[in-house]
Structure 1
Amino acid sequence: MAEEEPIEIGFPMVAAYHGQSALAMAAIVYQAQRAAFALLSPQAVPARRDISIVSGHPGPGVRDAFEVITRAVTRGAYVVDRSLPDARFVAGHAISYSFRITLGERTVEMALRPGVLPGRFFELVFTRDRTTEQERELSALKRAVARDVLAKEPDTLFTMRVS
């Protein structure tokens, strides 16, 4: 729910807002929000002003997907907490593929399931000084992951706890 009436935001709008640099993560967060709002507000369209986010992932695809749908970054209702304990898939990196989405008094804690992002994704993302060939491979992989994630039911991608 925007300021006065509901707005429908599909993934093409998220992708247009974000661009292509972190398309896989933008798709994952788009699906996370679909799953979270279905749990937190099954009977009504949630109001943006009532939503706050804690993200364990600092990336631009994550931030932009949350921002375009909830405006949480602009409203000061978005926090990155790299210490979240769940979905820590990359040893030696302070990054969690998990989120806490709060709507009013209820919160859903979400963690990306292992295997949603393939091992090669992490290898390429965390490779310094990628070659041109590796950049092309990573770009194609991001698009493939986004397609795969968007083709699945959102609740199959995450473990979720509501409190």
Structure 2
Amino acid sequence: MSDTIDVVDFGSQLQFTFGDLRLYSGPRSVGGLAHSFRVMQRVFPVLSPDGPPERREIQVRTAHPGPGVRDGIEFVTRAVVEDRFRHDPQFARTDGGDRMAWWVFEFAYRGRIVTAHARQEFVPEALMRFALLGRKATTDERAQFLAEIEKMSKLVLAARPDEIYDIVEVA
């Protein structure tokens, strides 16, 4: 498997690496960015089995509120600026407690809908505790949070997409 994401844009095939996404998003939200990269790698072949999907036809819904997830998906699909990306807190997972609530992604493309759920081992338990602190976090807690995000990024990028996400094809 190539470690890229391929899409088509106005007849031209585009190929993105994780490094490309990181340049777009910046250094801070690498955990969500890594998940966005791997989930698209997991879902796109199911959505478009005959080749890369048309990037401007992909619709996305997720419960994840973070900028890394949003930035990665936007960079590859342009779904945010073209109003095909929806952050939906009501879409949160109910299995796995607070830790897993955000880690669900729904992609729609040409009549197909695929939902991907991250597996628990790819979402560190400490991550949610730090995320819920938000602006109340101390400097030390923020540093620990960033360390957890970096650790998650490395874990996710070291795994194959099919090891990270369970998928369900809805339609």
Deviation at 1:72, TM superposition (A): 0.6
Q: Which residue of 2 aligns with 1:100?
A: 106
- Number of residue pairs matched by the alignment: 160
Q: Which residue of 1 aligns with 2:65?
A: 58
SS of 2:107 mapped into structure 1: strand
Q: Which residue of 2 aligns with 1:137?
A: 144
Q: Which residue of 1 aligns with 2:33?
A: 26
1:43-82 equivalent positions in 2, closer than 5 A: 43-82=50-89
1:152-163 equivalent positions in 2, closer than 5 A: 152-162=159-169, 163=171
TM-align CA RMSD: 1.7
For residues 24-77 of structure 1, give each alpha carbon's deviation from its aligned partner in whole angstroms, at most 9, with x where no partner exists: 011111100000012122321111122111111122111111100100111111
Q: Which amino acid aligns with 1:104?
A: R
Q: Which runs of 4+ in 1 moved over 6 A?
A: none
Q: Which runs of 5 or more structure 2 residues have no equivalent in the other structure?
A: 1-7
Which of 94, 102, 121 aligns to 2:127? It is 121
In 2, the alpha carbon distance for the partners of 1:15 and 1:88 equals: 29
Given that 2:9 and 2:55 are in contact with CA atoms closer than 8 Å, whether structure 1 keeps it comes out as yes
Percent identity for Structure 1 against Structure 2: 24
Deviation larger for 114-123 or 67-76: 114-123
Q: Which residue of 2 aligns with 1:90?
A: 98
Q: Which amino acid aligns with 2:98?
A: V
Q: Which amino acid aligns with 1:75?
A: E
In 2, the alpha carbon distance for the partners of 1:122 and 1:81 equals: 18
Q: Which amino acid aligns with 2:138?
A: T
In 1, the alpha carbon distance for the partners of 2:96 and 2:69 equals: 15
Q: Which runs of 5 or more structure 1 residues have no equivalent in the other structure?
A: none
Q: Which amino acid aligns with 1:114?
A: Q
Q: What TM-score comes out, normalization by structure 1 length?
A: 0.90
